[in-house]
Amino acid sequence: MSAPYPKPPWRTYGSGLAIPCIVPTRDVHVPDEFSIASSLWRTLGMLVYLEYKDPSPVIHRELIWMSAIVRCRDRSYRVPQGIGPMYYVARMYSDSEQSAEASRREWALPKTLARFHRLGNRIEVEAEDGTHIAFSWKPRGLTFRAPTQISTLQKGHGRIVCFRAEGRAEVQLATYRLETFESEHPEWQSFRSRLVLPGVASHVRSFESTVRAPVEVPRRIDSIAPAPSLV
């Protein structure tokens, strides 16, 4: 595949919706290398819908289920500091083959192809893995400008990868309604059992974000290991 993105960092533009969820940790499954950041056996999850618009490198739509905030269980991993909470992406969908392949390859993100249908402030997603979800939202209140930052930790291809994006957005509060949800995949179990906050979401009217190049998280023991002898 030819590289769908120019040389990093990448500038992206668009809009979207973020729905926070309180998630029981017993229903969250993460790689053995990760532990879940929790309080009272609960963690914070996030369902995120994004539309990337011109002049983003790839124009497409995404749906992301971030099931938990995680950290590396093994303290020898040198995770970047000062970047805020790091989420674990349990499932991710896109209507772009370029985006799906690049995300799996570069960021170890489990992205699957899906069809997106939008009518006003209603979104319906039908994924190739059988997942079907539909929700609508209603923006309320004033719009304010705020900084944005998102970080993830993923495991894939025998490595741990950190994803980072930061920028600014025009945001307003919104109420939302989940109309349809069907999926047989265990990664969605944490979404099924979530404690729904009272219809509170963030409507991102527009955003400008800088996506950093993927960072493979090294282990300290590897970084201080002596170089192999050439004799």
Number of domains in the chain: 1
Q: What is the pTM of this model?
A: 0.89
pLDDT tens digit string along 18-64? 999 999 999 999 999 999 999 999 999 999 999 999 999 889 999 99
Three-point CA angle 226, 230, 231, nearest 5°: 115
Name the phi and psi angles at 189, rounded to 5. Answer: -60, -40
Is residue 29 situated within a structural domain?
A: yes
Is 4 within the bounds of a domain?
A: no
Q: Examine residue 108 and state whether it is found in any structural domain, yes or no.
A: yes
C-alpha distances (whole Å) from 193 to each of 21, 67, 137, 189, 196 are 10, 11, 21, 6, 9
CATH of the domain at 78: 2.40.400.10
Which domain range does residue 172 map to? 10-218
| 103 domain-assigned | yes
Q: Is residue 225 part of a domain?
A: no
Residue 227 resides in a domain = no
Both structure tokens of 143 = 């719009």
- Please indicate, yes or no, if residue 120 is contained in any of the structural domains: yes
Structural domain contains residue 228: no
In this structure, how many other beta carbons lie within 10 angstroms of the beta carbon of residue 96? 18
Task: Give the tens place of pLDDT for each residue, 161-189.
Answer: 888 999 999 999 999 999 999 999 999 99
Q: How far apart are CA 7 and CA 60, in angstroms?
A: 19
